[in-house]
Amino acid sequence: MARYAENHGIRRALAEELGTPQSRRDLSVSLNNVAGIEQARGDLDGALEKYEESLAIAQRLLEHDVTPATQNGALWTAHLTASCLVGLSRLGEALAMLDGVSSTAAELELACDDHLNMLDTCAAFHETYAKASAALGRANEAQRRSEHGAAIRARIAALKGGTER
Protein backbone atom coordinates (compact mmCIF):
# COMPACT_ATOMS: atom_id res chain seq x y z
CA MET A 1 0.00 0.00 0.00
CA ALA A 2 2.87 2.37 0.80
CA ARG A 3 4.27 2.00 -2.73
CA TYR A 4 0.87 2.48 -4.35
CA ALA A 5 0.22 5.54 -2.17
CA GLU A 6 3.60 7.01 -3.17
CA ASN A 7 2.89 6.30 -6.85
CA HIS A 8 -0.58 7.76 -6.46
CA GLY A 9 0.83 11.02 -5.08
CA ILE A 10 3.19 11.31 -8.04
CA ARG A 11 0.41 10.53 -10.54
CA ARG A 12 -1.94 13.09 -8.96
CA ALA A 13 0.77 15.79 -9.05
CA LEU A 14 1.56 15.03 -12.70
CA ALA A 15 -2.12 15.06 -13.68
CA GLU A 16 -2.57 18.43 -11.99
CA GLU A 17 0.60 19.89 -13.47
CA LEU A 18 0.38 18.48 -17.00
CA GLY A 19 -3.34 17.90 -17.46
CA THR A 20 -2.68 15.64 -20.45
CA PRO A 21 -4.96 12.73 -21.30
CA GLN A 22 -2.13 10.30 -20.50
CA SER A 23 -1.45 11.85 -17.08
CA ARG A 24 -5.18 11.75 -16.24
CA ARG A 25 -5.38 8.13 -17.43
CA ASP A 26 -2.39 7.27 -15.24
CA LEU A 27 -4.12 8.92 -12.26
CA SER A 28 -7.27 6.89 -12.97
CA VAL A 29 -5.25 3.65 -13.00
CA SER A 30 -3.46 4.68 -9.81
CA LEU A 31 -6.79 5.34 -8.09
CA ASN A 32 -7.98 1.85 -9.15
CA ASN A 33 -4.82 0.27 -7.69
CA VAL A 34 -5.18 2.02 -4.32
CA ALA A 35 -8.92 1.29 -4.25
CA GLY A 36 -8.27 -2.39 -4.94
CA ILE A 37 -6.03 -2.62 -1.89
CA GLU A 38 -8.55 -0.77 0.25
CA GLN A 39 -11.30 -3.10 -0.98
CA ALA A 40 -9.17 -6.17 -0.20
CA ARG A 41 -8.56 -4.78 3.29
CA GLY A 42 -12.30 -4.36 3.81
CA ASP A 43 -12.42 -0.56 3.55
CA LEU A 44 -15.25 -0.50 1.02
CA ASP A 45 -16.16 3.13 1.64
CA GLY A 46 -12.57 4.26 1.00
CA ALA A 47 -12.36 2.03 -2.05
CA LEU A 48 -15.63 3.33 -3.43
CA GLU A 49 -14.48 6.93 -3.07
CA LYS A 50 -11.39 6.22 -5.17
CA TYR A 51 -13.25 4.09 -7.72
CA GLU A 52 -15.79 6.87 -8.19
CA GLU A 53 -13.05 9.47 -8.73
CA SER A 54 -11.33 7.13 -11.17
CA LEU A 55 -14.60 6.55 -13.03
CA ALA A 56 -15.23 10.30 -13.32
CA ILE A 57 -11.77 10.72 -14.88
CA ALA A 58 -12.32 7.75 -17.22
CA GLN A 59 -15.68 9.11 -18.34
CA ARG A 60 -14.20 12.54 -19.08
CA LEU A 61 -11.44 10.89 -21.11
CA LEU A 62 -14.06 8.86 -22.97
CA GLU A 63 -15.90 12.04 -23.98
CA HIS A 64 -12.78 13.20 -25.85
CA ASP A 65 -11.30 9.90 -27.07
CA VAL A 66 -13.69 7.13 -28.06
CA THR A 67 -11.06 4.51 -28.88
CA PRO A 68 -11.43 0.88 -27.79
CA ALA A 69 -8.57 1.35 -25.29
CA THR A 70 -10.31 4.32 -23.65
CA GLN A 71 -13.62 2.46 -23.66
CA ASN A 72 -11.89 -0.51 -22.05
CA GLY A 73 -10.52 1.69 -19.26
CA ALA A 74 -13.88 3.30 -18.58
CA LEU A 75 -15.70 -0.02 -18.65
CA TRP A 76 -13.15 -1.68 -16.35
CA THR A 77 -13.44 1.17 -13.85
CA ALA A 78 -17.25 1.05 -13.97
CA HIS A 79 -17.10 -2.71 -13.30
CA LEU A 80 -14.78 -2.15 -10.31
CA THR A 81 -16.98 0.64 -8.94
CA ALA A 82 -20.14 -1.41 -9.35
CA SER A 83 -18.47 -4.39 -7.71
CA CYS A 84 -17.65 -2.24 -4.69
CA LEU A 85 -21.23 -0.93 -4.59
CA VAL A 86 -22.48 -4.54 -4.59
CA GLY A 87 -20.18 -5.22 -1.63
CA LEU A 88 -21.77 -2.28 0.18
CA SER A 89 -25.25 -3.61 -0.68
CA ARG A 90 -25.94 -0.52 -2.77
CA LEU A 91 -27.40 -2.67 -5.50
CA GLY A 92 -29.66 -0.14 -7.17
CA GLU A 93 -26.74 2.23 -7.64
CA ALA A 94 -24.60 -0.59 -8.99
CA LEU A 95 -27.21 -1.54 -11.58
CA ALA A 96 -27.79 2.09 -12.57
CA MET A 97 -24.06 2.47 -13.16
CA LEU A 98 -23.89 -0.76 -15.15
CA ASP A 99 -26.92 0.25 -17.20
CA GLY A 100 -25.16 3.52 -17.96
CA VAL A 101 -22.19 1.77 -19.53
CA SER A 102 -24.01 -1.11 -21.25
CA SER A 103 -23.71 0.55 -24.64
CA THR A 104 -19.96 0.97 -24.09
CA ALA A 105 -19.70 -2.76 -23.32
CA ALA A 106 -21.61 -3.63 -26.49
CA GLU A 107 -19.44 -1.32 -28.62
CA LEU A 108 -16.27 -2.69 -27.07
CA GLU A 109 -17.28 -6.29 -27.72
CA LEU A 110 -17.74 -5.46 -31.39
CA ALA A 111 -14.49 -3.50 -31.64
CA CYS A 112 -12.18 -5.96 -29.90
CA ASP A 113 -12.86 -9.19 -31.73
CA ASP A 114 -9.68 -10.89 -30.55
CA HIS A 115 -8.16 -8.57 -27.94
CA LEU A 116 -8.01 -10.71 -24.81
CA ASN A 117 -7.72 -7.90 -22.26
CA MET A 118 -10.74 -6.09 -23.64
CA LEU A 119 -12.76 -9.28 -23.88
CA ASP A 120 -11.88 -9.99 -20.24
CA THR A 121 -13.19 -6.54 -19.30
CA CYS A 122 -16.47 -7.28 -21.09
CA ALA A 123 -16.80 -10.65 -19.35
CA ALA A 124 -16.11 -9.07 -15.94
CA PHE A 125 -18.72 -6.39 -16.69
CA HIS A 126 -21.40 -9.01 -17.39
CA GLU A 127 -20.40 -11.05 -14.32
CA THR A 128 -20.75 -8.01 -12.06
CA TYR A 129 -24.07 -7.16 -13.69
CA ALA A 130 -25.25 -10.74 -13.03
CA LYS A 131 -24.27 -10.51 -9.33
CA ALA A 132 -26.12 -7.25 -8.81
CA SER A 133 -29.18 -8.50 -10.69
CA ALA A 134 -29.26 -11.77 -8.71
CA ALA A 135 -28.96 -9.88 -5.41
CA LEU A 136 -31.97 -7.79 -6.40
CA GLY A 137 -33.98 -10.89 -7.32
CA ARG A 138 -33.87 -10.27 -11.06
CA ALA A 139 -33.20 -13.89 -11.93
CA ASN A 140 -33.81 -13.64 -15.69
CA GLU A 141 -31.42 -10.70 -16.11
CA ALA A 142 -28.86 -12.39 -13.86
CA GLN A 143 -29.05 -15.57 -15.92
CA ARG A 144 -28.78 -13.70 -19.22
CA ARG A 145 -25.75 -11.69 -18.06
CA SER A 146 -24.10 -14.75 -16.53
CA GLU A 147 -24.49 -16.72 -19.77
CA HIS A 148 -23.15 -13.80 -21.80
CA GLY A 149 -20.11 -13.51 -19.52
CA ALA A 150 -19.53 -17.27 -19.79
CA ALA A 151 -19.74 -17.08 -23.60
CA ILE A 152 -17.08 -14.36 -23.64
CA ARG A 153 -14.90 -16.44 -21.29
CA ALA A 154 -15.27 -19.41 -23.67
CA ARG A 155 -14.27 -17.15 -26.56
CA ILE A 156 -11.18 -16.05 -24.61
CA ALA A 157 -10.27 -19.68 -23.92
CA ALA A 158 -10.65 -20.54 -27.61
CA LEU A 159 -8.44 -17.61 -28.61
CA LYS A 160 -5.79 -18.59 -26.08
CA GLY A 161 -5.88 -22.14 -27.37
CA GLY A 162 -5.67 -20.95 -30.96
CA THR A 163 -8.93 -22.67 -31.91
CA GLU A 164 -11.59 -21.19 -34.11
CA ARG A 165 -14.69 -19.69 -32.61
DSSP state letter for 43 = -
Please tell me the distance from the alpha carbon of residue 140 to that of residue 146, in angstroms, as a whole number. Answer: 10
pLDDT over 70 at 17, yes or no: yes
Q: Please give the single-letter amino acid code of residue 24.
A: R
Question: Model's pTM, two decimal places?
Answer: 0.82
pLDDT single digits (tens) 87-104:
899 999 999 989 988 988
DSSP state letter for 113 = T
Please tell me the distance from the alpha carbon of residue 70 to that of residue 159, in angstroms, as a whole number. Answer: 23
pLDDT single digits (tens) 68-89:
888 888 899 999 999 999 989 9
How many other β-carbons are positioned within 10 Å of the β-carbon of residue 43?
A: 14
pLDDT over 80 at 48, yes or no: yes
Query: If DSSP states are collapsed to H, E and C, what string results for the chain?
Result: CHHHHHHHHHHHHHHHHHCCHHHHHHHHHHHHHHHHHHHHCCCHHHHHHHHHHHHHHHHHHHHHCCCHHHHHHHHHHHHHHHHHHHHCCCHHHHHHHHHHCHHHHHHHHHHCCCCHHHHHHHHHHHHHHHHHHHHCCCHHHHHHHHHHHHHHHHHHHHHHHCCCC
